[in-house]
Amino acid sequence: MKEKVRIASGQGFWGDLPDAPVRQVEGGQIDYLMLDYLAEVTMSIMQKQRTRDAAAGYARDFVPLMKQILPACVERNICVTANAGGVNVEGCANAVRVVAGDLDLSGKFRIGIVTGDDIMERIDEFISRGIELRNMDTGDPLSTVRDRIQSANVYLGAWPMVAALRQGAQIVITGRATDTGLTLAPIIFEFGWGEEDWDRLAAGTIAGHIIECGAQSSGGNCQYDWQSIPDGWNARIFVA
Are 106 and 185 in a shared domain?
yes
Residue 240 falls within a domain, yes or no? Answer: no
pLDDT tops 50 at residue 240: no
**pLDDT per residue as tens digits for the range 138-178:** 999 999 999 999 889 999 999 999 999 999 999 999 999 99
Are 25 and 140 in a shared domain?
no
**pLDDT per residue as tens digits for the range 168-219:** 999 999 999 999 999 999 999 999 999 999 999 999 999 998 888 765 665 5
Average the pLDDT over 9-18 and give the result: 86
Are 188 and 69 in a shared domain?
yes
Instruction: Give the whole-angstrom CA distance, residue 159 versus residue 88.
Output: 20
> Would you say 118 and 86 are in contact if contact means Cβ atoms under 8 Å apart?
no
Which of 182, 189, 186, 180 shows the shortest CA–CA distance to 208? 180
Total domains, the chain = 2
Instruction: Give the whole-angstrom CA distance, residue 103 versus residue 141.
Output: 50
Residue 74 falls within a domain, yes or no? Answer: yes
Are 113 and 64 in a shared domain?
yes
pLDDT tops 70 at residue 131: yes
pLDDT tops 60 at residue 234: yes
Average the pLDDT over 41-62 and give the result: 94
**pLDDT per residue as tens digits for the range 89-116:** 999 999 999 999 999 999 999 999 999 9
Are 201 and 147 in a shared domain?
no
Residue 19 falls within a domain, yes or no? Answer: yes
Are 133 and 197 in a shared domain?
no
pLDDT tops 90 at residue 39: no
Residue 108 falls within a domain, yes or no? Answer: yes
pTM listed for this prediction: 0.88
Residue 124 falls within a domain, yes or no? Answer: yes
Chain mean position to CA 82: 4
Are 29 and 138 in a shared domain?
no
196-225 burial by CB neighbour count: b if 16+ within 10 A, else e?
Answer: eeeeebeebbebbebbbbbbeeeebeeeee
Domain that holds residue 99: 7-118+153-218
